[in-house]
Structure 1
Amino acid sequence: MVQPGEDILLNCTTGPAMPPANIVWYIDGKAERMEPWMVNNTQVSPPNEFNLRSSWRSLRLRVNTQRAAVSVRCEATQPTWPPFVRSTNASLVVARTPHLSMFTASGSLSTAYEVSVAVLASCLSSVHIFSKYSALSEV
Structure 2
Amino acid sequence: MTSHQTTQTMKPATAAKKLGVYLQATPAEFQEGVVSRNELNALQTDPPQWLQDLRRTGPHPRPVVAAKLGVSIAGLARGGVTEALTTEQIDALKDENPSWLRQERATQADVRKEAVRIKEKNEARETKSGSDS
Which structure has the highest strand share of the two?
A: 1
TM-score (norm 2): 0.23
- TM-score by length of structure 1 reads 0.22
The structure carrying a bigger helix percent of its residues is 2
Q: Per chain length, whose mean CA-contact separation is higher, i.e. which structure has more relative contact order (CA < 8 Å, sep 6+)?
A: 1
